[in-house]
Structure 1
Amino acid sequence: MGWQILGIVVGFLAAAAAAFFAANGHQMSRAVSITVTVIFGLIGAGCGWACLIDLTEHRLPNRLTYPLIPAVMLAAIVLAIVAGQGHRVTSALMSALITGGLFFVAALIAPTGIGMGDAKLAVTTGAMAGWWSYVTAMWAIFSAFVFAGLVALALIAVRHATAKTPIAFGPFLFLGAVVAIWWNVAASPFSW
């Protein structure tokens, strides 16, 4: 039960971040603002829960990763309708396919590095970030690797890990997507 509670907390933090951007002068209508807040909260809760399981068990369960994929695509469609920007659905879908495909190939080539759970979560985070743009999706993946690398180096430096110690990558995928989205929103406010 603890994972669910922590996942919900992460979701509400994501929702609070969306509400913050909406309330601080970004050019979103009230409908878009509310929709973004609700959707970020729900997807954030699911991703947060999955990431907590990944941190403790080094796996991303199918019962979480599979439902997140249609949830984020439905969210992309709803947001595009509310915002009146249908092209964003294509961007989200293509970004999901590209990031998921890259991680799927990586999982096949080196299954001890990137797992299939990471590949499925990459579809979700790729769609989340890709809704803003293809570039945002690529920054999300790049950021995930940078954050994971920095944490790995820090763990090695304080002798809590070696170069062969497995590190859960799911939390970094989610963090990379959130940071890329926040950066995109902060750097260039929405022009709905």
Structure 2
Amino acid sequence: MGVEEVGAEARWRPVVRRAWILGWLPQAVLAFAACGGAAWWGARTGTQGPTVTALPVLALLGVAASADAVAHILPNRLLGSASAWLMACGVVAVAARPVLAYDALRAVLCALVAGAISLLVALAPTGLGLGDVKLCAVIGLWLGWYGVSAFVLGLWVGVMVGGVAALALLISRRASRKDPMAYGPYLILGSFMAWPFAAL
């Protein structure tokens, strides 16, 4: 747990429901399901390269989504590991094919833009947390490799799905405007939905 996470925990402790989801077995099943589905899709479409790169990202972000849904926290070790893997893959790809340097630069710029914009949103009273800011940067680093449109699509789908979910909770009175909401799972879902189209 990072220093900022310790500080956040000292200020606010979420009500953890269904903590069993964070056990090693449910998390392993979740990661296996995400990676298994992606591996099947990659073999079916002949996109083995992008799929191999995406497998650890899918596993790490899938686990991060469940942690945010249950405990309203996006662990730094998961987001950091996903970023480190993506950067390592980018370095290897550029070393093997220098022409891919433009794609790598675009991915870094998308990560910076996503982080900067989401930070501005987080500074306003929107409910977006710093964990979401880091998550947006990771999504930019991942989907930005395939193009700006893939990056925008992933975030747009995540925001739209999150907005619909928030509206449904308000209408059903299962939550009020003052209740915190985990945006991470929706942003991750959006990136998962955009990636197959981007990698084709």
TM-score range (shorter-chain normalised) is 0.7 to 0.9
Q: Write the distance in 1 (CA, Å) between the matches of 2:32 and 2:50.
A: 12
The number of residue pairs the alignment matches comes to 179
- Please point out which of 72, 76, 87 is paired with 1:62: 76
Secondary structure of 2:100 counterpart: coil
Taking the aligned partners of 2:78 and 2:177, their CA distance within structure 1 comes to 29
The amino acid of 2:137's aligned partner reads V
Bigger Cα displacement from structure 2, 41-50 vs 118-127: 41-50
Given the alignment of the two structures, is residue 125 of structure 1 paired with residue 139 of structure 2, yes or no? yes
Alignment partner of 1:21 is 2:76: no
Return the TM-score normalized by structure 2.
0.76
Q: Distance in 1 between matches of 2:96 and 2:186?
A: 29
Task: Summarize the alignment of residues 42-191 of structure 1 with structure 2, pairs less than 5 Å apart.
Answer: 42-78=56-92, 85-110=100-125, 113-185=127-199, 189=200
For 1:52, give the aligned amino acid.
Answer: S
Structure of greater relative contact order (alpha carbons < 8 Å, 6+ residues apart): 1
Amino acid at match of 1:10: L
Q: Is the 8 A contact 2:107 2:145 kept in 1?
A: yes
Say whether the 8 Å CA contact 2:35–2:59 is kept in structure 1: no
Give the RMSD, CA atoms, in angstroms.
2.5
> Does the 8 Å CA contact 2:58/2:192 hold for their aligned counterparts?
no
Q: Which moved more, 1:57-66 or 1:94-103?
A: 57-66
Q: Write the deviation string for residues 12-45 of structure 1: whole angstroms up to 9, x where unpaired.
A: 333333323332344x4xxxx1x43343221222
In 2, distance between residues paired with 1:10 and 1:82? 33
**Where in structure 2 are there 5+ consecutive unaligned residues?**
1-19
Deviation, 1:119, is 0.6
| Residue identity matched to 2:31 | G
Q: Secondary structure at the match of 2:177?
A: coil
Pick from 36, 40, 46 the counterpart of residue 54 of structure 2. 40
Q: TM-score scaled to structure 1, two decimals?
A: 0.79
Displacement after TM superposition at 1:71 (Å)? 2.1
Percent identical: 29
